[in-house]
Amino acid sequence: MSETKSAGAPATAARRSRTLLVSFLGAVVRPLGDWMPIAGAVELLGQAGLDAASVRTAVFRLKKRGWLESQTRSGQRGYALTPAALESLAAGDEVIWHARQPADLGDGWCLVNFSVPESARAVRHQLTAHLSSLGFGNIGSAVWIAPARMLPAARRAIAELDLTEHCAVFVGDYVGGQQLTTTVRNGWDLAEIDRRYREFITEHGGATPSASGDPDSFVRYLSVVDHWRKLPFRDPGLPPEVLTADWNGPAAVRLFEHLVATLEPGALAHAAQYWPR
């Protein structure tokens, strides 16, 4: 067992470095001009627990993905966010920063059914992964459902994978049959989503954070953003009528918004000290 854990440790560390760097790019680098000095980034992420080698490796990988390009400013080496990175980060903003507001039950549902040949298995897996990340739930063999507002996003995902001819997309109302709450429970692991919201509240809902621009407030701000940004992608923003009365999503959203409003100004002021003046 110890060998398995040690073998997985580098992958886990690399994943944490990548996710923390992406959070840093979205929450710190963009507000400070879409560019970062590499020395300053290494120092700041070091305060958040990453060593210099991990930061530079994560930067290298994002550069290979087309997210970063080398650029020197005021005599300091650094990296600018590319249009591809800005587009991806902006798309994530709709979910991460504005959260998944509950859908209106009266708007109905979007259903996606697809039949992709075995020869295109890899693309089929990409589609299911994409639909899942958009908040769709799986309610049958190749049948996915989400609130109706997800129709444009579903169409984009299908078109990007060139699977339009293999998919049927519907929008309509629930009119009867199996209880809607049962369908919802079958489509999403609501207990797991709720557990993650509770975990966020438990971890970050302690004492009121300091708003001062010091390393501690910066680290807490980055930690809050990095923890939060993965959660809404799992939450489809279901109508309240199909959720339990003790659903923790709204409380977690309120806590996140409070923490960001309190911590962000000081965190950015602290980070700006590592940018060229």
Q: Is the pLDDT of residue 235 over 90?
A: no
Sign of CA dihedral 264, 199, 149, 103: negative
For the chain, give the mean pLDDT: 90
Contact between residue 217 and residue 263 where contact means Cβ atoms under 8 Å apart: yes
> Alpha-carbon dihedral of residues 255, 261, 264, 269, nearest 10 degrees?
-150
Share of the chain above pLDDT 70, in %: 93
Delimit the domains of the chain by residue range: 2-90, 109-172, 189-272
Contact between residue 163 and residue 154 where contact means Cβ atoms under 8 Å apart: no
Mean pLDDT computed over 214-222? 92
Q: Is the pLDDT of residue 4 over 60?
A: no
Helix then strand count (H, E) for the chain reads 10, 7
pLDDT number for residue 12: 65
pLDDT number for residue 10: 60
Q: Which of 47, 77, 61 is nearest to 19 (CA)?
A: 61
Taking only Cα atoms into account, the Rg of the chain, rounded to an integer number of angstroms, comes to 21
Could you name the CATH architecture of 109-172?
Answer: 2-Layer Sandwich (3.30)
Q: pLDDT class for 11, splitting at 50, 70, 90? A: low
Backbone angles phi, psi at 73, to 5 degrees: -135, 135
Place of tokens 């587009």: 87
pLDDT number for residue 17: 84
How far is residue 181's CA from residue 190's CA, in Å, rounded to a whole number?
11
Contact between residue 154 and residue 169 where contact means Cβ atoms under 8 Å apart: yes
* Type and span of the H or E element at 227: helix 215-228
Mean pLDDT computed over 12-22? 81
> Alpha-carbon dihedral of residues 44, 46, 50, 56, nearest 10 degrees?
70
The predicted model scores a pTM of: 0.84
Q: pLDDT class for 2, splitting at 50, 70, 90? A: very low
Could you name the CATH architecture of 2-90?
Answer: Orthogonal Bundle (1.10)
Contact between residue 24 and residue 223 where contact means Cβ atoms under 8 Å apart: no
Q: Is the pLDDT of residue 58 over 70?
A: yes
Identical fold, 2-90 and 109-172: no
